Amino acid sequence: MISCVPPPPAVAVALTGPPAAVAPAVLAPDDAVLLERAAAGDATALDELFRRYRTVAYRVAYRLLGNEADALDAVQDGFVNAVSHVARFRGQSSFRTWLLRIVSNAALDLGRARRRRLARTAPGCPSPDELTLPAGDPDPDAGLRRQDLRLLLDKALAQLPLAMRQTFVLHADGGLTYREVADALGISIGTVMSRLFYARQRLRTILGDQVDA
Amino acid sequence: MTPNPDGPLPWLAARADGELPPAVAPNLDAWTAANPDAAAALRTQESLAASNRGFWRAVEPPAPSEAAWASVRCSVGRRLDDLRLAEAEAVRRSRIATARLTRFAVAASVALAVGLGIWAGAGFSPNAVPALRVPASDPLADFAVLPMAERDDVAVYSASGDATDRVLGSASPLWDGLILATSEDVRLDGFMPPTAPKPKMTSGPSDSPMIYAGRGRSP
Q: Residues of chain B with pLDDT > 90: what percent?
A: 9
Chain CA centroid to CA A2, Å: 19
Chain B hits for A59, CB-CB cut-off 8 Å, are 60-61
- Would you state the pLDDT for residue A128? 45
Contacts with A, B 61-120, CB within 8 Å: 61-62, 64, 67-81, 83-84
With both helix axes pointing from N to C terminus, report the angle between A146-158 and A162-172 in degrees, rounded to the nearest 10.
140
Q: Which DSSP letter does residue B180 get?
A: S
Contacts with B, A 145-204, CB within 8 Å: 146-147, 149-150, 153, 172-173, 177-179, 188-190, 193-194, 196-198, 200, 204
- What does the alpha-carbon distance between residue A177 and residue A3 come to, in Å, rounded to a whole number? 36
- Would you state the pLDDT for residue B197? 61
Calculate the alpha carbon distances from B13 to A186, A194, A195, B41 in Å.
21, 9, 11, 9
Contact B80 A58 (CB under 8 A): no
The answer, for A1 touching chain B at a CB cutoff of 8 Å, is yes
Tell me the pLDDT tens digit for each residue of B35-59. Answer: 998 899 889 888 888 887 777 777 8
Does pLDDT of A71 surpass 80?
Answer: yes
Counting one residue from chain A and one from chain B, the pairs whose CB atoms sit within 8 A come to: 126
Beta carbons within 10 angstroms of residue B176's beta carbon: 10
Whole-prediction pTM:
0.60
Chain B hits for A146, CB-CB cut-off 8 Å, are 58-59
The arithmetic mean of pLDDT across residues A43-54, rounded, is: 94
Q: Which of A104-108, A138-142, A173-177, B204-208 has the lowest mean pLDDT?
A: A138-142
Contacts with A, B 30-59, CB within 8 Å: 48, 51-52, 55-56, 58-59
CB A160 within 8 A of CB A199: yes
- Would you state the pLDDT for residue A68? 92
Tell me the pLDDT tens digit for each residue of B88-146. Answer: 888 888 888 888 888 888 888 888 988 888 887 776 555 545 555 555 566 656 665 55
Q: How large is the C-alpha radius of gyration of chain B?
A: 57
Beta carbons within 10 angstroms of residue B69's beta carbon: 19
E strand or H helix at A139: none
b/e map of B19-55 (b: 16 or more CB within 10 Å)? bbeeeeeeebeeebeeeeebeebbeebbebbeebeeb
Tell me the pLDDT tens digit for each residue of B158-177. Answer: 666 665 555 555 555 554 54
CB B114 within 8 A of CB B181: no
Chain B hits for A74, CB-CB cut-off 8 Å, are none
Q: Which of A70-79, A201-210, B72-81, B89-98 has the lowest mean pLDDT?
A: A201-210
User: From the candidates A35, A72, A99, A193, which should be mutated to test the interface with B, based on the most B CB atoms within 10 A?
Assistant: A193
Contact A153 B59 (CB under 8 A): yes
Q: Which DSSP letter does residue A137 get?
A: -
Considering only CA atoms, which of B60, B4, B1 is closest in space to residue A196?
B4
Chain B hits for A72, CB-CB cut-off 8 Å, are 64, 68, 71-72
Considering only CA atoms, which of A100, A132, A135 is closest in space to residue A114?
A132
| E strand map for chain B | 200-203, 209-212
Contact A58 B61 (CB under 8 A): yes
Contact A196 B69 (CB under 8 A): no
Chain B hits for A190, CB-CB cut-off 8 Å, are 1-4, 10
CB A131 within 8 A of CB A149: no
Contacts with B, A 74-93, CB within 8 Å: 75-76, 79-80, 83-84
- What does the alpha-carbon distance between residue A119 and residue A108 come to, in Å, rounded to a whole number? 16
Would you place residue B78 in the very low, low, confident or very high pLDDT band (cuts 50, 70, 90)?
Answer: very high
- What does the alpha-carbon distance between residue A162 and residue A74 come to, in Å, rounded to a whole number? 16
Task: Please work out, in degrees rounded to the nearest 5, the angle formed at the alpha carbon of residue B72 by the alpha carbons of A32 and A117.
Answer: 115
Closest residue in A to B14 (Cα–Cα): A193
Q: Residues of chain A with pLDDT > 70: what percent?
A: 71
Q: What's the residue count for chain B?
A: 219
Closest residue in B to A83 (Cα–Cα): B80
Beta carbons within 10 angstroms of residue A6's beta carbon: 13
Helix intervals (H) in A66-177: 68-84, 95-119, 128-132, 146-158, 162-172
Q: Which residues pair with B212 in a beta bridge?
A: B200
- Nearest CB to B13 within list A43, A54, A196: A196
